[in-house]
Structures are given as structure tokens and as C-alpha cells.
């Protein structure tokens, strides 16, 4: 079920109402059943895959807690193999097979291994990673094994964050299913406000920009350099509004019922370097990789070359996590390269700042760094969005010419796009630098506050895109 569908509106109202009507002891069951329904609204049969990982990790957790010695590690490895195995079959099998076919073809052979004709289960990477974080945490003795199978299932399946995160940790989420959540006016309105802002970002900004981006990126050979530059900047904003919009709706939905999910985005386009960008972008995934892969590889407590390798490798894997395509792997590699390059040139860049005297103009330096970081992120996004590596290279070549004219189907499309971007910019600017200044959504005046909500809903009806389809990150 899509958040941006009329079905979800009814689903949310019914589930939330029942949640507060039912006695506390039955609420987890309601959430579990509704989460199953939510997931099965996509492709019902795929609930079996989810069930498979749930059963494996539930028992893995229990046995991990009971077992001591080397068998403990073996148990963890078996559980991880089962989880990664599911990912490997459903997400990466055809990718590897495709590459094998190309290799064998080059050598004059035919690939005898057949392709799998299967759809990728929605949000597979998200719930697999969430399930894996549970077994790892139990193994590390940071979390007790969950004995209640229903509660554990709910931890993996909790519908607000089931298909696109935030990827939760058991320490943050599991205990919340045992706590009683009262009907709290302030908390409920906070959640609803977050949901409204999420819908605004998705429907008014992301899906509007997607129209331009799709027409440019799906036919790059027909576009001018200027159009592709515009489409790339639009895509950077589109993917942010799409994914952070989803996260806001997810976090808001959970908040209404009293659950606190982790923050997933923290205004990443105000970052002053790529390292900061990754601390603000898709935080639940970045921290997952940091906690479970980067630190396991030794983090920065190793030799300098190994440290650089660790960083680069983690981003390469992160790229691959996003999709079974070379475009995602290159996107990850570019980000890894940015980070390693920044470390290598750290002293040099400090010196340049000193020589140019920019250190005396902190605001100017900050502004300059924000722009550079945004442009670097945009360059990497080309590979993320392009349909193939060949397309990405063509797009970069065309962009380098900077040739016009700028293509647009009709002026209202651009007007709506820039209107949405302006609202986003001022909202983010206010929250980044002027947090305590005048606020519309949290205004003490009831009428101002409610007029703001009403105007946002009217704007969604007036200029939101209702045929925009699903969220980009569902495919991962």
C-alpha cells in the first residue's frame, strides 16, 4: 500500500482509531495484522519471504543468547547468510547472471544458467537489514533475545517503516511495543504535522520534479546540456523530497501512535562537506553501515591506507545495496572517492583557506562549501538516476557543453516546480539557521496555525501530482 494513496488514508484512520480503542495488551496484535495487510497490498505472496527471515532470525536470536563459545559466531554467520541469501536470490541473482553472460559471451561461450523471472519484493533491503541488526545486536550482547514471536515479527514488520525505513535498531524499537501509549494531543498533532509536511514534499515537490527529470533522463540523447543540468539539479531535490517525505510520513504515522522512530534526514543539502552530508542523509542506513560494517572492518583504528580502503569499500557496498546495477555501484564508488579524496587533501584545503583569507569570512566560506558539496552530490546523482552507465556518460558529456535551449513542456510545469523548491528552501533554511524565529506550523495563534495546515492541504489538492506513483526507495 502506498502512503500517497486514498487506501492509505482509510487504513491509517482505521488502524489508529482501533489502536487507541483497544486495550494495551491487544495493540501489538492489531499492529501486526495491519502490517501484514499493508505489506500484502503490494504482492501478497512475498509475505512468505518476510516470514522466512523472521523465523530464521527469531530462533537465531534465542539460540545466540543461550549459546556460548565459537558456536555463537557460527550461529550469527548462519543467520546472516540466510538473510543475505534472500537478498542475493531476489535482488542480485539476475545482475550476477547478466554479468556472467557478458563475460562468457566475450570469451565465446554461452551462459547455461537461466534467468529468474521474479519481481523484487518491495523494501526487501530495508527489512532484511533491520532483521540483521537484531541478530548482530543480540550477538554483541547489546540486546536481549525477544521471546515473544509476535512482538519480534512486529519489530521487522511495523508498517510505518516496513518498506522504506528508517532502518530501526532493536534497542530503539522493541521495547516500545511493550510500553503503553496514551492518547496525547501534543504528540498526535506533532505526528500529523510531520505527515502533512511529508505529503507536501512528496506530492507537490518530488512528483512534480519527477515529470521533468523523467522526460530528460529517459531520453538523454534528445536533450540539450542545459536541460540535463536542470534535470540533474531537479533530481537532487526530487530524491530528497521523495525519500525524506516518505520518512516524514513514516515517522509521523508512528508518532501519532506513540512510537518514536529514528530521524532519517537532517537537511543534508546544508552540509559543508561530503562527510557531513552522509551524517545527514539516510542516517539510519549510514549508521547501519558504520555500526555493522565499517567498525567490523576496523574503522579508522587501522593503518591509514586500510582506513581509506574501509571507507571506500563501505560506500561501494552501500551503492550495491541500493540496486543491482553498475550505476549504483559507481554512485557508491564516487561517494567513497569523495571521502577519501577529502581526507587526502585535508591539509591542502586548510592551507588554501588560510592563504585566500576565507577563514576570516566564515559565512562566505560556509556558503561556498555548501554549494560545492551540493554540486558534488549532484554529480554522483547522475549515475544514481541514469538508466545505464552509457546514458550517464552521455549526460555528463552533454552537460559539459552547457548548450541550450532549456526544454520545458509548458511554463506552468516550471512555475509549479520553482514554487515547490522555494517553499522547501525557506522551510529548511528556517529550521537550519532560524529555529526559534517566527513559525507558521507551530505558531501560538490557533488560527494562523490551522490556516497554515489548511493552505498546505489546499496546495496539495491544487498543484500536487496525484499520478506520481510509488516512492523511489521502494525499489531498494
Partner 1 sequence: MENKLIGKLKSNKYLYFFTKLFLLFLIIFVLDFSIGKTLRHFYFTQESGWQYRTTYAMENTVADMIVFGSSRANHHYHPEVFEKRLPFEYYNAGRDGSYNLYHFAVLKSILKRHKPKMVILEFGKEEFKKSQVGYDRLSALLPYYKTHPEIREILDHKSEAEPLKLAVSQIYPFNSSIFTIAIGNAAINKTRRGDIKGYVPLDKTWNEPMKTIQSVPAYDVDTVSVWAYESFLKECKLASVPVYVVTSPYFERSALMDTSMQLGKNIAGKYDVPFFDFSQDEKLISHPNFFADHLHLNDKGARIFSDFVIDRILVEKMDYVTQKK
Catalytic residues: 322
Q: Which of 92, 309, 453, 475 binds partner 1 (CB under 8 A)?
A: 453
Nearer to partner 1, 68 or 410 (CB): 410
Asked if residue 467 binds partner 1 (CB under 8 A), the reply is yes
Cβ-based nearer residue to partner 1, 7 or 346: 7
463: contact with partner 1 by CB under 8 A: yes
Nearer to partner 1, 122 or 151 (CB): 122
Burial environment of residue 15 by CB neighbours within 10 A (0 to 12, 13 to 18, 19 or more): buried
| Residue corresponding to grid cell 525505513 | 165
- Alpha carbon distance, N-terminus to C-terminus of the chain: 16
Q: Which CB, 38 or 281, lies closer to partner 1?
A: 38
Asked if 461 touches partner 1 (CB under 8 A), the answer is yes
Report the residue number, 301 or 467, with the smaller CB distance to partner 1.
Answer: 467
**Distance (Å, whole) CA 239 – CA 282:** 11
454 binds partner 1 (CB under 8 A): yes
Q: Are 20 and 256 in contact (CB under 8 A)?
A: no
Which of 464, 472, 474, 476 lies at the binding interface for partner 1 (CB under 8 A)?
A: 464
Distance in Å, CB of 34 to partner 1, minimum: 20
The count of C-alpha atoms lying within 13 angstroms of the C-alpha of 270, restricted to the half-sphere facing its C-beta, is: 14
- For position 416 contacting partner 1 by CB under 8 A, the verdict is yes
What is the closest distance, in whole angstroms, from the C-beta atom of residue 185 to partner 1 in the complex? Answer: 5
Cβ proximity of 34 and 11 under 8 Å = yes
Asked if 455 is part of the footprint of partner 1 (rule: CB under 8 A), the reply reads yes
By CB under 8 A, tell whether 220 contacts partner 1.
no
**Does 401 sit near partner 1 (CB under 8 A)?**
no
**Given the complex with partner 1, which of 164 and 465 has the nearer CB atom?**
465
**412 touches partner 1 by CB under 8 A:** yes
What x-and-dash track marks residues 180-209 binding partner 1 by CB under 8 A? ---xxx--x---------------------
Residue with cell 482509510: 10
State in angstroms the smallest separation of the CB of 271 from partner 1. Answer: 33
Residue carrying the nine cell digits 558456536: 71
Taking CB under 8 A as the criterion, the residue among 68, 410, 436, 445 binding partner 1 is: 410
How is residue 114 written as a grid cell?
537461466
CB-based burial, 275-301: b 16+ in 10 Å, e otherwise = ebbbebbbbbbbbbbebbebeeeeeee
CA dist., res. 261 & res. 255, Å (int)? 8
Binders in 269-298 for partner 1, by CB under 8 A: none
Cis peptide before 341 (omega within 30 of 0): no
* H-state helical runs in 67-176: 70-87, 93-106, 124-139, 149-157, 170-173
| 287 half-sphere exposure, CB direction, 13 A CA radius | 17
Residues of this chain that interact with partner 1 (CB under 8 A) are 5-7, 183-185, 188, 410-412, 415-416, 450-451, 453-455, 457-458, 461-467, 469
Amino acid at each position: 500500500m502506498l502512503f500517497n494513496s486514498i487506501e492509505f488514508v482509510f487504513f491509517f484512520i482505521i488502524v489508529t482509531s482501533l489502536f487507541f480503542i483497544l486495550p494495551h495488551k491487544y495493540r501489538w496484535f492489531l499492529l501486526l495484522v495491519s502490517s501484514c495487510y499493508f505489506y500484502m497490498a503490494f504482492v501478497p505472496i512475498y509475505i512468505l519471504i518476510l516470514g522466512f527471515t523472521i523465523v530464521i532470525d527469531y530462533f537465531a536470536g534465542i539460540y545466540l543468547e543461550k549459546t556460548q563459545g565459537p558456536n555463537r559466531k557460527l550461529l550469527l554467520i548462519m543467520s546472516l547468510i540466510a538473510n543475505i541469501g534472500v537478498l542475493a536470490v531476489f535482488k542480485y541473482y539476475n545482475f550476477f547472471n547478466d554479468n556472467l553472460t557478458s563475460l562468457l559471451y566475450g570469451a565465446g561461450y554461452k551462459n547455461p544458467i537461466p534467468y529468474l523471472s521474479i519481481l523484487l519484493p518491495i523494501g526487501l533491503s530495508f527489512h532484511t537489514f533491520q532483521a540483521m541488526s537484531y541478530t548482530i545486536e543480540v550477538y554483541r550482547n547489546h540486546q536481549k533475545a525477544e521471546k515473544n514471536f509476535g512482538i519480534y515479527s512486529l519489530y521487522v514488520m511495523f508498517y510505518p517503516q516496513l518498506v522504506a525505513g528508517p532502518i530501526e535498531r532493536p534497542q530503539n524499537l522493541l521495547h516500545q511495543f511493550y510500553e503503553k501509549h496514551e492518547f496525547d494531543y501534543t504528540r498526535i498533532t506533532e505526528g500529523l504535522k510531520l505527515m502533512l509536511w511529508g505529503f507536501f514534499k512528496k506530492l507537490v515537490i518530488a512528483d512534480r520534479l519527477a515529470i521533468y527529470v523523467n522526460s530528460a533522463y529517459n531520453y538523454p540523447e534528445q536533450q540539450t546540456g542545459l536541460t540535463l543540468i536542470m534535470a540533474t539539479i531537479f533530481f537532487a531535490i526530487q530524491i530528497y523530497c521523495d525519500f525524506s517525505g516518505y520518512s516524514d510520513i513514516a515517522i509521523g504515522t508512528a508518532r501519532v501512535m506513540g512510537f518514536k522512530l529514528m530521524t532519517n534526514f537532517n537537511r543534508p543539502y546544508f552540509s559543508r562537506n561530503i562527510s557531513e552530508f552522509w551524517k545527514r542523509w539516510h542516517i539510519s542506513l549510514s549508521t547501519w553501515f558504520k555500526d555493522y560494517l565499517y567498525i567490523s572492518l576496523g574503522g579508522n583504528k587501522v593503518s591509514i591506507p586500510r582506513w581509506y580502503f574501509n571507507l571506500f569499500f563501505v560506500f561501494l557496498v552501500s551503492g550495491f545495496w541500493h540496486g543491482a546495477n553498475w550505476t549504483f555501484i559507481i554512485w557508491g564508488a564516487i561517494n567513497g572517492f569523495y571521502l577519501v579524496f577529502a581526507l587526502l587533501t585535508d591539509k591542502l584545503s586548510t592551507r588554501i583557506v588560510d592563504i585566500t583569507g576565507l577563514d576570516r569570512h566564515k559565512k562566505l566560506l560556509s556558503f561556498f562549501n555548501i554549494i560545492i558539496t551540493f554540486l558534488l552530490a549532484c554529480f554522483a546523482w547522475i549515475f544514481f538516476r541514469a538508466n545505464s552507465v552509457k546514458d550517464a556518460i552521455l549526460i555528463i558529456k552533454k552537460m559539459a557543453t552547457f548548450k541550450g535551449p532549456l526544454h520545458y513542456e509548458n511554463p506552468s510545469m516550471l512555475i509549479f516546480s520553482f514554487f515547490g523548491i522555494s517553499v522547501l528552501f525557506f522551510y529548511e533554511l528556517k529550521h537550519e539557521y532560524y529555529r526559534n524565529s517566527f513559525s507558521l506550523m507551530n505558531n501560538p495563534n490557533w488560527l494562523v496555525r490551522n490556516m497554515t495546515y489548511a493552505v498546505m492541504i489546499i496546495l496539495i489538492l491544487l498543484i500536487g501530482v496525484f499520478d506520481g506513483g510509488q516512492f523511489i526507495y521502494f525499489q531498494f
